[in-house]
């Protein structure tokens, strides 16, 4: 790197930097920051292949399966064994509601609803993904195809999403998206497209799908919280 110090990608410094993180974190770092001056210019597959090379360079053992070009899958693979076990437990906890529908309902049926209760369907999130990636809508161009962010817009997943929207409601997220996005063309999508994109964003943050679609009803959406 001209005029600066390039990050170390091998040896003790590298392992100290990443030992408590996951390959998903590393994938996000490379995808949204590299190459310098051209972030998000690599495909997900290229990013995954580069990570595999870096792991080999650091003498991590090769196996028989390819490293998936999927940040959510990589989020369950940690550099350090203890961190790996913690990541696996976290992934199991996140997947439990989706694989055990009876566990989705809160212990207190009269309690407040949150996005942990399965408030969108998988089909709705799939529609939202298609709308998000539609070049005419501009979502991926600003926020990245993997929702990790770019110079044109903030990330919409993990800590960035939680710090911005944790403690708020889906209604607030819907209103913000509808009245601010896309920049320069606010409100240009249908209410259905906006709420489908929100379903996709929620799924990308590992919130579970349920049996009922989110509806673009502001009053109802304000009753659904986003945990901090």
Tens-digit pLDDT profile for residues 50-108? 988 988 888 888 878 788 887 777 777 877 655 555 555 655 554 444 444 433 344 33
pLDDT (tens digit per residue) in 18-49? 877 788 778 888 877 778 777 778 888 888 88
List Cα–Cα distances, 216 to 35, 145, 172, 194, 199, in angstroms. 39, 24, 12, 8, 11
Cα three-residue angle 189-190-195, rounded to 5 degrees: 100
Q: How far apart are the first and last CA of the chain?
A: 37
The pair of structure tokens assigned to 32 is 């949204």
Mean pLDDT value across the chain: 82
Backbone angles phi, psi at 150, to 5 degrees: -160, 175
Task: Give the pLDDT confidence score for residue 89 in this predicted structure.
Answer: 60
Between 120 and 14, the higher pLDDT residue: 120
CA 69 to chain centre: 14
Task: Give the pLDDT confidence score for residue 116 in this predicted structure.
Answer: 94
4 pLDDT tier (thresholds 50, 70, 90): low
Averaged pLDDT, 172-177: 96
184 pLDDT tier (thresholds 50, 70, 90): confident
Q: Coil, helix or strand for 11?
A: coil
Q: What's the predicted TM-score (pTM) here? A: 0.55
Looking at 67-76, 94-103, 117-126, 214-223, which range is the least confident one? 94-103
Task: Give the pLDDT confidence score for residue 3 in this predicted structure.
Answer: 44
Per-domain residue ranges for the chain? 12-85, 102-225
> Which of 162, 186, 189 lies closest to 176 in space, CA to CA?
186
Superfamily classification of domain 102-225: Cytochrome c-like domain (1.10.760.10)
Between 114 and 138, the higher pLDDT residue: 114
Of 25-29, 68-72, 137-141, 221-225, where does the model show the most confidence?
221-225
């Amino acid at each position: 790197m001209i005029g600066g110090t390039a990050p170390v990608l091998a040896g003790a410094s590298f392992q100290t930097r990443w030992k408590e993180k996951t390959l998903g974190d590393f994938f996000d770092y490379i995808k949204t920051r590299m190459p310098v001056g051209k972030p998000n210019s690599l495909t997900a597959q290229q990013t995954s292949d580069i990570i595999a090379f870096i792991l080999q360079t650091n003498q991590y053992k090769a196996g028989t399966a390819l490293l998936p070009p999927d940040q959510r899958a990589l989020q369950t693979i940690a550099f350090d064994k203890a961190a790996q076990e913690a990541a696996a437990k976290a992934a199991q906890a996140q997947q439990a509601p989706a694989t055990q529908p009876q566990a989705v309902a809160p212990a207190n049926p009269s309690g407040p609803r949150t996005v942990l209760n399965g408030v969108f369907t998988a089909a709705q999130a799939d529609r939202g993904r298609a709308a998000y990636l539609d070049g005419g809508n501009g979502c991926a161009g600003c926020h990245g195809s993997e929702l990790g962010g770019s110079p044109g817009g903030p990330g919409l997943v993990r800590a960035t999403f939680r710090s911005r929207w944790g403690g708020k409601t889906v209604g607030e997220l819907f209103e913000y998206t509808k009245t601010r996005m896309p920049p320069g063309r606010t409100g240009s999508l249908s209410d259905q497209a906006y709420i489908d994109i929100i379903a996709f964003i929620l799924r990308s943050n590992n919130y579970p799908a349920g049996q009922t679609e989110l509806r673009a009803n502001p009053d109802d959406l304000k009753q659904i919280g986003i945990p901090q």
